[in-house]
Amino acid sequence: MTWDASLLWQFDFLILLMVIICAVAALTFKDLITSAVVFGAYSFLMCLLWTEMLAVDVAFTEAAVGAGVSTVFFLGTALHIKRRAKD
Amino acid sequence: MKLLSLVISLTLGFLLLLATADLPDWGDPQSPASIHVSNYYIENSVEQTSVPNFVTSVLADYRGYDTMFETIVIFCAGITVLTILRRSHRQKKKEVRPRPAREGKDLILISAARIIAPMMQIFALYVVAHGHHSPGGGFQGGVILGSSFILLALAYDLETILKRLKERSVIIMSGIGVAIYMGIGMICLFLGGNFLDYSAWSSVLGVSAVEARSHGMLGVEIGVAVTVMYIMFSLYADLSSGGEMDEGL
C-alpha cells in the first residue's frame, strides 16, 4: 500500500489543533465530570492520530482503553469525590 | 505559585520541543530503529512464527517476557484498587455526596444494552482470536469484553451484574489469566525449551515448531484477555461504588 502523508496534512493539522484544545480544556474546566468527558475526546483524537500514522494496533488500544474504559473510570471516580476542583 | 508553575511548564515544553527536532522524521527509513531492529522482524516473523501481524508476534513471542509482566502489572493494579477501596457494609462511612435513590430502570437503556452487549462480546472474542492476522489481541479484546459487562452494569445496576460475575470469581479468574500465561511459559521449560519459547510445544501439539509458536501466542493472548477483562470489570465495580459493591453509578 502506498501512503503519502503530505496529502493529508490539513487533516493532520486539524486533529493536532483539536488535541491541543482538548488537552488545555480538560485542565481548565472546574467541573471534574466535564474534564473527564473532554479527556475522553482527547483520547479519541489521539486514536485518530495513531490511525493516520498507520499504527493501527496502538490506535485500537487507545480507542478501547483511553477513550472507552478509562473515561468510565474517571466518571465513576468523579462522582464519589468533590465534584468541583479548587483551581 | 501559579506563575512559577507556568514558567516551569513553559520552559520544559520548550526544551522538549527543541529535543523533538533531533528525533528522526516520522517513517524515516534511515532512522536507527528502522535500520537495526525492524528489519529482522519484518524479514523473519512470518518464516519463524507464521504470524502475519508483526505487532502480535513481537508482543507475544519475541518480547513475550515484557508482555507477561505487563499482564502482571494490570493484575497488581486491579488487586491494589480492590485492597484500598473495598470495604464491607459494616464499616460503611457516611456518604460524601448523598445520591438520589434509583427510581426504576430505564427501558430504553436496558433494551439497547441487551442488544449491544452480546455483539461486543462476540467482537471481543474475534479480536482475541484474530489478533494473529489483524490488529488486536489479548489486551484490546479483554478490554472490550470487560466493557461489555460495564455497559450492562450501567444499564441495570451493579448488584444485578455482580450476581452473574461474582466478586470472588473475579479475583480468582484474574489470577488464572496470569497463570495461563506463565503456565504456557513454564511448560516450555519442562518440554526442553527456554521459558516462553513456544516452539517446545511442537511435540505435544503434534505440529511443526513454527505452528507451535503461533498456537502458543494464541494461548498467551487468551490468558491476557482473561486477566484484563476481569480486572477492568473489578476496577469499575470498585471505583463506581466507592468500594461497597452495592449499586454503582
Q: What is the ipTM of this complex?
A: 0.85
From B130, B118, B64, select the one nearest A60 (Cα to Cα).
B130
Q: For all residues of chain B together, what is the average pLDDT?
A: 87
Mutation target for B interface from A65, A70, A81: give the one with most B CBs within 10 A.
Answer: A65
Residues 181-210 of B with CB under 8 A from A: none
C-alpha cell at B20: 523533538
pLDDT of residue B90: 54
**CB-nearest partner of B140 from A60, A75, A80:** A60
**CB-nearest partner of B239 from A57, A73, A82:** A73
B208-230 pLDDT, tens digit each? 888 899 999 999 999 999 999 99
CA A34 to chain B, closest CA, distance in angstroms equals: 16
- Residue A81 to residue B232, Cβ atoms within 8 A: no
Residues 43-72 of A with CB under 8 A from B: 53, 56-57, 59-61, 64-65, 68-69, 72
| Confidence (pTM) | 0.86
**CB-nearest partner of A64 from B56, B144, B235:** B144
- Residue A65 to residue B143, Cβ atoms within 8 A: yes
A10-66 pLDDT, tens digit each? 888 899 999 999 999 998 998 899 999 999 999 999 999 998 888 889 999 999 998
B18-75 pLDDT, tens digit each? 999 888 887 788 888 788 888 888 888 888 888 888 889 998 889 989 999 999 999 9
- Give the chain A residue whose CA is nearest to the CA of B137: A57
